Structure 1
Amino acid sequence: MKRKPVVDIFIPCFVDQLFPETGLNMVKVLEKLNCEVRYNPNQTCCGQPAFNAGFIEESGRIAHKFLKDFTNDQTNFVVAPSASCVGMVRNAYPDIFMSSSEFVNYRNLEKKVFEFSEFLVDVLQVTKVPGSRLDAKITYHDSCSALRECGIKAGPRALLQNVTGLELLEMEDTETCCGFGGTFAVKFESISVAMAQQKVENALASGANYIVSTDSSCLMHLDAYMRRENINLKVMHLADVLAQGL
């Protein structure tokens, strides 16, 4: 009998604190696809906020903890509903672990870390989640981390196109940043808001009633702008879309 894929889920800070339903929906989809899902309650952050703010030593300590939390069984996959966190592991951790005795362990773990849609499409070879249904018109936002750090573009669209009742509409300049960028939104508020405005205007022009993405941070930023401006457009994480109807 073929062994079920064993998945250790990594829940990012944004999802843990603000969008826990996204983490639960990711589990629902993975279990629907016959994965054995495990959760290590000792996990915390990937270290990205500290790293991007220049606190390299502090982020290094968090990275070492991440490595410890997810190397109990190196045959397991590590899956996160965030290209931002996966991008951190792939692109910043090599510098952090370069001079460390844990470098080989990191390289072994790195091969097993995947963003949610990437795991479904590239590892499980799935582009349709059986039973998934959402009667809506949606447009997909390419987050900077997914597109530029992880090379993710076609996979989420393939999954969305196979959701029953869903119509995928491409917006103009979908690859343009939404304006969040972590502390960028705080340091350069006016620029950040202007970028969100342009992204939302493009989404509205597409005729969609939902903006979908792989990253809750982008969606949080866009949702905050739309709420302030009383714009009737909603956001959904890809995992939330795929879990509809299950």
Structure 2
Amino acid sequence: MKKIFYQLALAALSLGSFAQNFKVPKTTEVWEPLPKIVTPATTPGGAPSDATILFDGSNMNGWQHTKDKSASKWLLKDGAMIAKKGTGELMTKQEFGSFQLHVEFNMPLDSKKVGYPDGGNSGVFLHGKYEIQIFDSYNNEVPIYANGMAGSVYKQVIPIANAMLKPGEWNSYDIFFTAPKFRYNGSVETPAYVTVLMNGVMVLNHFEIQGTIQYIGIPSYEYYSGKGPIALQEHGSEVAFRNIWIRDL
């Protein structure tokens, strides 16, 4: 009995000492590792020092067509690349895992005249699989289902805000993407997540992506490496893109 009492007393003293230690600031201070230094851009939308430039307006050398990996047939004009009708989808030659992506895009002035579905219609595909929709959703004037509006993960979620600018004005997406992870047997260990800012306004907040985009049917995951390209959709509309950069996370 005395031995048990002695052990309990020692435990109480230890806990008391432990609690006392946490009253000292140094106990909770972690000094290493230090974060790497990243120099921010000096202009809005500019690339920080550790970013990979995917398109700076000078050439399209980092891009290729998704079907045959041929050189881009999109129009390069005034520092932008424009999705000419019938030229097909582009993707980066590089592949990425989790990342921060900045993309600027501009709706054609005649998007409302052309109308749905080809008026001001495009998309940014993460890993070539998960589409952040681009659509002329300015003022909700063009009728389209809510989970197909600009800022949605296409047919998976309605954006929490519509911050789209009118055709002819440059919009921006800042996309924060966490790549999915798969188990050895191909099942999903952790799904992909995405947060999206449109023109500085959060429109998706850590949304759990349900799987590869499906126009018809239910999305699902299929095993892959967890890396993939960035792809831009050509959907019969001359949407323009500029100032595209990415940071590995």
Question: Which TM-score band (shorter chain)?
Answer: under 0.3
Task: Calculate the TM-score normalised by the size of structure 2.
Answer: 0.26
Higher strand share: 2
Higher helix share: 1
Q: Larger relative CO (CA 8 A, sep 6+): 1 or 2?
A: 2
Could you say which structure has the larger radius of gyration?
A: 2
Task: Calculate the TM-score normalised by the size of structure 1.
Answer: 0.26
